[in-house]
Amino acid sequence: MLIQLIDIEKYYQTGAGKTFVLRNINLEIDQGEFVSIMGPSGAGKSTLLHILGVLDDPSGGSYLLDGHEVSSLSDKHRGELRREMIGFIFQAYHLIDELTVYENIETPLLYRKVKSAERRGMVSDILDRFQIVGKKDLFPAQLSGGQQQVVGVARALISSPRLLLADEPTGNLSSKEGETIMGLFKELHEAGTTIVQATHSEANAAWADRVINLQDGWIT
């Protein structure tokens, strides 16, 4: 089992008291599974993904990633997990504006201290694979939304993560572009990558093995 969430809850301290975003989440995801999280806006999908991606801490409960309790990890170990194990894709792409396509994709490798020659090979491979070699020297602002998301996916995959987390990866894309991304996920899934995606779209959710419904912070 890759992921085990036990009684996870998340709340924010607001003026009136606690505002719960996630309640009583118990969830297990096996190695190699492809899971979709569905729910209306504000249901807590992004929050859950952030917790899964070790970007945010739950307010209560326990999260075991690959058998290790995450809450007890130091900042350094979390960084290591993010670098070595997890890839993240955002609805808003979130590329770094000052870096070219090539440099954006290369950045995670820099943080992993991959040697320059090896880095060049890896980036070229992935540019080839996504057919964006011709765009490698452009800046994010010079790309369409779909192209930016392709770069975002390429960046998430460059380190060959075991766990791929995608927060509405197709939210801003045309249905055709969305289709392409989903096809890609399928391939990755077949190759053994564990994938968790959050989505509004029934059609996209259907690509997964399993669909989890989230409503007001509860799994239903």
Ligand X SMILES: Nc1ncnc2c1ncn2[C@@H]1O[C@H](COP(=O)(O)OP(=O)(O)OP(=O)(O)O)[C@@H](O)[C@H]1O
Q: By the criterion CB under 8 A, which residues form the site for another protein? A: 50, 53, 55-56, 75-76, 79-80, 82-84, 88, 90, 94-99, 103, 106-108, 110-113, 155-156, 159
Residue 108, binding choice from another protein, Mg ion, ligand X, none, Cβ under 5 to 8 Å by partner class:
another protein
Contact letters (x/-) for ligand X, 137-176, by CB under 6 A?
A: ----------------------------------------
In the structure encoding, which two tokens stand for residue 24, read together?
A: 């009583």
220 binds ligand X (CB under 6 A): no
Query: What is the distance between the alpha carbons of residues 3 and 79, in angstroms, rounded to a whole number?
Result: 18
Q: How distant is the alpha carbon of residue 193 from its chain centre?
A: 12
19 binds ligand X (CB under 6 A): yes
Query: What is the distance between the alpha carbons of residues 64 and 73, in angstroms, rounded to a whole number?
Result: 11
Residue number with CB closer to another protein (12 or 209):
12
Strand 218-219 versus strand 210-215 pairing type: antiparallel
Residue number with CB closer to ligand X (50 or 136):
50
Q: What is the DSSP string of 167-208?
A: ESTTTTS-HHHHHHHHHHHHHHHHTT-EEEEEES-HHHHTTS
Residue 21, binding choice from Mg ion, another protein, ligand X, none, Cβ under 5 to 8 Å by partner class:
ligand X
Indicate which single residue of 46, 147, 148, 194 sits in contact with ligand X (rule: CB under 6 A).
46
Q: Which amino acid is at 143?
A: L
Indicate which single residue of 47, 104, 149, 193 sits in contact with ligand X (rule: CB under 6 A).
47
- Please, which residues have CB within 8 angstroms of residue 21's CB and are 6 or more apart in sequence? 10, 11, 12, 44, 47, 217
Query: What is the distance between the alpha carbons of residues 67 and 46, in angstroms, rounded to a whole number?
Result: 23
Residues in the site for ligand X, rule: CB under 6 A?
Answer: 12, 19, 21, 39, 41-47
